[in-house]
Amino acid sequence: MYNKRRTSTKFLLVIVVFALLSTSAYAFVSADKTSAKQMLAERTPIPSTELYRQNPPSEPFGSHERTLCSVDVVAATEVIQPADISWYKQLFNQYNRVESCFSPPVLQTLQGSHVSVDARIYEPLNQMMASARAAGATIWAQSGYRPYSTQRTLFENRVNRYIGRGYSREQAEQNTARWIAAPGTSEHQSGLAIDFNCITMAFEHTAAFQWLVENAHRYGFILRYPPGTTHITGVNYEPWHFRYVGVEHASRMQEYGVTLEEYVKWYFGR
Ligand SMILES: [Zn+2]
């Protein structure tokens, strides 16, 4: 009898401690969520022409500069290669595809990780991760460069799952493209995009996400697919996916609260 009472008291104590821990964890998470969400909600429409005139970028940012492989030389005459667009100032999306053989000139693997990125963003990425760590927000790279073949496998697997559920090939591809970029349209092929920590919506409620939303632009990175912009980017909200665009452009996009598509349109449509 005595033992039984002691056991139930212990059990009750465990429940109380667990409840207290859950409440404080929730409070921490809620505070993060509100703040990061508020920042992301403060989007403005595409900046005005007047604003552009007052504050023009020092360097142009443009649509994708196709990098041709030897096998594609036949098509070279159809390809526009603006001379003023360099490696990190390229748009990769469903309208700006890259060839299957396109890859960063030099890849560098992150220390203690299997993830590699374009070697030119290795330093800013490491600096950003170190600063986040110093601020108590641990971020790690879950995924970086992905070759065309890997992207094709990921895409096809999801398409086949939809087809298995009775969708037509076309519908299956459309549904898949909102979650997984079709081969040739993924920023991961450029080596300039990183998926951080856990690739789930739960990432949105972490201190790491909060820190990234507030600070990533200082290192040249942007949250590439912000909430409420699927009609512009063609991709669902992905809190874990960040893209290197350089400090100047990232800071401007942060200031104006615009996506890369809007920023490029603004640049060319002024
Ligand atoms: Zn990604």
pLDDT per residue as tens digits for the range 28-81: 444 444 566 676 776 655 555 555 555 555 544 544 444 433 333 333 333 333
- Ligand 1 centroid distance, CA of 192 (Å): 10
pLDDT at 260: 86
- The residues spanned by each domain of the chain are 47-146+186-270, 147-182
Evaluate whether 262 touches 61 at the Cβ level (below 8 Å).
Answer: no
Mean pLDDT of the region 108-134 = 96
Residue 21 carries which side chain, given as an amino acid letter? L
Question: Could you give the residue ranges of the DSSP H alpha helices within 42-137?
Answer: 49-54, 122-134
pLDDT at 265 over 60: yes
pLDDT at 107 over 80: yes
Mean pLDDT of the region 258-267 = 77
Contacts of 52 (CB under 8 A, 6+ apart): 266, 270
Answer with the residue of higher pLDDT: 130 or 48: 130
What is the pLDDT confidence band of residue 131, given thresholds at 50, 70 and 90? very high
Tell whether the torsion through CA atoms of 115, 85, 247 and 98 is positive or negative.
negative
Tell me the two tokens of residue 108: 């560098």
Residue 115 carries which side chain, given as an amino acid letter? V
Tell me the two tokens of residue 206: 């972490």
pLDDT at 140 over 70: yes
From the candidates 238, 248, 261, 262, which is the catalytic residue?
238
Which CATH fold would you assign to the domain 47-146+186-270? Muramoyl-pentapeptide Carboxypeptidase; domain 2 (3.30.1380)
- Rounded Cα–Cα distance for residues 221 and 213 (Å): 10
- Ligand 1 centroid distance, CA of 193 (Å): 6
pLDDT at 156 over 90: yes
Mean pLDDT of the region 194-207 = 93
For the ranges 17-21, 85-89, 259-263, the maximum mean pLDDT occurs at: 259-263
Evaluate whether 186 touches 100 at the Cβ level (below 8 Å).
Answer: no
- Ligand 1 centroid distance, CA of 41 (Å): 21
Answer with the residue of higher pLDDT: 152 or 8: 152
Beta bridge mates, 195: 143, 241
What is the pTM assigned to this prediction?
0.74
- Ligand 1 centroid distance, CA of 28 (Å): 26
pLDDT at 9: 58
What separation, in Å, do the N-terminal and C-terminal C-alpha atoms of the chain show? 82
Q: Is 204 a catalytic residue?
A: no
Answer with the residue of higher pLDDT: 175 or 56: 175
Tell whether the torsion through CA atoms of 119, 227, 130 and 221 is positive or negative.
positive
Q: What are the pLDDT digits (tens) for 205-244?
A: 999 999 999 999 999 999 999 998 888 888 889 999 999 9
- Ligand 1 centroid distance, CA of 242 (Å): 7
SS3 110: coil
Question: Could you give the residue ranges of the DSSP H alpha helices within the chain?
Answer: 2-41, 49-54, 122-134, 148-164, 169-177, 207-215, 230-233, 247-256, 260-269
Tell me the two tokens of residue 137: 């927000």
pLDDT at 84 over 80: no
What is the distance, to the nearest Å, from the Cα of residue 70 to the centroid of all Cα atoms in its chain?
30
Smallest CA-to-CA distance from 221 within 113, 135, 147, 132 is with 132
**Angstrom distances, CA of residue 199 to CA of 51, 111, 116, 160:** 36, 20, 17, 21
pLDDT at 31: 43
Evaluate whether 37 touches 226 at the Cβ level (below 8 Å).
Answer: no
